[in-house]
């Protein structure tokens, strides 16, 4: 995994990007000691220096983690991540299902090569389609483009509209709140976002889990000893039988 991550980053076009968001199903466990592990690696695995790196867990998996993981690792709380599921190769499964009958009786090597061929073909088409669709403001796509690119563009359009709606909602909500509370919450948020880069626990301020209230024993006792409800009603209304 370390090898794949480092070489994937080394061979990708991250260039001058200053912020990286890396999502993985079990990132909450995996990224612990990652940099120390890489430094100790005998293979001297390269990890891009000088980047602000956010480690997160994809939306499909985060709900299966302990509750503390949600504010600490969900993409919802990563600045700039937007609403993203964090999955990529899974989107190929539907297309590859059409290939599966022809690999059922193949040997392991032949199956791997055939699936690899189809995935590389998909990547190639995506690369070509990106150039095509970005030039079209209304995204008039031909039917033979790889599904992944139009769906990404569709999500982008949806996100643009969503950001306008969310902004309007936030402004309306803030008008109902005391200014002092807003400035306190903003300061908490900035501290948490800065602190998370060294310690994920800093994000616990976003955890909305409530502590259960306690009910004093003396009050529980008096509640048990209270007269039956029907008697209480009679006393309250002054109605007596007979
Ligand atoms: Zn977790």
Residue predicted with more confidence, 220 or 8:
8
Across residues 135-146, what is the average pLDDT? 50
* CA of residue 149 to ligand 1 center, whole Å: 30
* CA of residue 189 to ligand 1 center, whole Å: 21
Strand partners, 21: 54
* CA of residue 28 to ligand 1 center, whole Å: 5
* CA of residue 70 to ligand 1 center, whole Å: 8
Report yes or no: 83 and 159 within 8 Å, Cβ to Cβ.
yes
What percentage of residues in the chain have a pLDDT greater than 90? 29
Q: Which of 26, 82, 30 is nearest to 57 (CA)?
A: 26
- The sign one gets for the Cα dihedral 108, 109, 112, 113 is negative
Across residues 162-179, what is the average pLDDT? 93
* CA of residue 25 to ligand 1 center, whole Å: 8
Across residues 19-41, what is the average pLDDT? 89
Residue predicted with more confidence, 118 or 149:
118
* CA of residue 65 to ligand 1 center, whole Å: 5
Band of residue 158 on the pLDDT scale cut at 50, 70, 90: confident
Alpha helices in 107-228 (DSSP H): 108-133, 148-174, 179-195, 217-225
What was the pLDDT predicted at 233?
Answer: 47
* CA of residue 59 to ligand 1 center, whole Å: 11
* CA of residue 56 to ligand 1 center, whole Å: 9
What was the pLDDT predicted at 237?
Answer: 44
* CA of residue 89 to ligand 1 center, whole Å: 21
What was the pLDDT predicted at 132?
Answer: 60
Across residues 176-190, what is the average pLDDT? 93
* CA of residue 72 to ligand 1 center, whole Å: 8
d(CA 99, CA 118): 8
What was the pLDDT predicted at 15?
Answer: 82
* CA of residue 69 to ligand 1 center, whole Å: 5
Type and span of the H or E element at 53: strand 52-56
* CA of residue 209 to ligand 1 center, whole Å: 16
* CA of residue 77 to ligand 1 center, whole Å: 14
Residue predicted with more confidence, 230 or 194:
194
pTM: 0.67
Report yes or no: 65 and 31 within 8 Å, Cβ to Cβ.
no
């Amino acid at each position: 995994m370390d090898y794949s991550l480092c070489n994937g980053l080394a061979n990708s076009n991250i260039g001058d990007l200053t912020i990286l968001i890396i999502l993985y199903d079990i990132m909450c466990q995996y990224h612990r000691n990652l940099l120390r592990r890489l430094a100790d690696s005998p293979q001297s695995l390269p990890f891009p220096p000088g980047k602000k790196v956010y480690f997160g867990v994809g939306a499909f998996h985060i709900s299966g983690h302990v509750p503390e993981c949600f504010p600490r690792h969900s993409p919802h709380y990563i600045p700039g991540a937007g609403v993203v599921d964090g999955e990529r190769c899974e989107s190929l499964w539907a297309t590859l299902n059409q290939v599966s009958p022809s690999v059922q009786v193949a040997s392991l090597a032949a199956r791997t090569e055939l699936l690899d061929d189809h995935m590389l073909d998909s990547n190639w088409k995506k690369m070509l389609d990106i150039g095509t669709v970005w030039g079209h403001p209304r995204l008039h796509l031909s039917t033979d483009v790889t599904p992944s690119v139009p769906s990404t563009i569709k999500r982008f359009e949806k996100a643009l509209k969503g950001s306008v709606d969310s902004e309007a909602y936030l402004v309306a909500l803030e008008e109902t709140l005391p200014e002092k509370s807003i400035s306190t919450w903003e300061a908490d948020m900035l501290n948490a976002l800065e602190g998370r880069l060294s310690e994920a626990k800093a994000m616990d301020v976003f955890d909305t889990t409530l502590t259960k209230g306690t009910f004093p024993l003396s009050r529980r006792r008096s509640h048990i000893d209270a007269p039956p409800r029907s008697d209480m009603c009679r006393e309250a209304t002054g109605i007596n039988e007979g």
